[in-house]
Structures are given as C-alpha cells and as structure tokens.
Amino acid sequence: MTAKKKKSKGSALGRIVRAIDAAGRDADLARRSAGDPEFRRGVREERRKTLSSFQTVKDSLADRERIQKSKKRSQRS
C-alpha cells in the first residue's frame, strides 16, 4: 500500500455487525471459561493478559491506544 491509500474500514453497518458478532462469540467463550479454575487464577494474577484473549477486549485496547495517540498529536499542534 502506498502512503496515500489507506485500508478501507468498510461500511458503518458492517463494522457494527462485526462488533456484535465478536461480542456474541466472546460472551459464549466467557460463559464457558467462567467456571474454569485456571482462567480464574489467570484473571487474579494477570488480569489484562488473561482477558486479552477475548477479541472485544483486544479491539477496546486498540481503540484506547488510537485515541491516546490522536490526543498526543492534537496537543503537539
């Protein structure tokens, strides 16, 4: 990809559908993992690392980093 071309985000509706789909999958995974003693131990010891196995958490962390970068750029200008 050249510097001028950016990767397309897709339509707003498509992004919403993907977010809902990921949330449903993560909810199912969370219900199955909730009773697992190893998962509970992981959450207690390294909460962020353990929870980052969920796609919605990864997306949220990426959004947070993107927002922080944009704030830093706007403060420099």
pLDDT mean for each 10 residues of the chain (77 residues): 64 87 88 87 86 85 90 80
What are the domain boundaries of the chain? 14-70
Q: Quote the CA–CA distance of 60 and 8 in Å, as a whole number.
A: 19
pTM equals 0.56
Secondary structure (3-state) at 34: coil
Alpha helices for the chain (secondary structure H): 12-33, 37-45, 47-51, 55-76
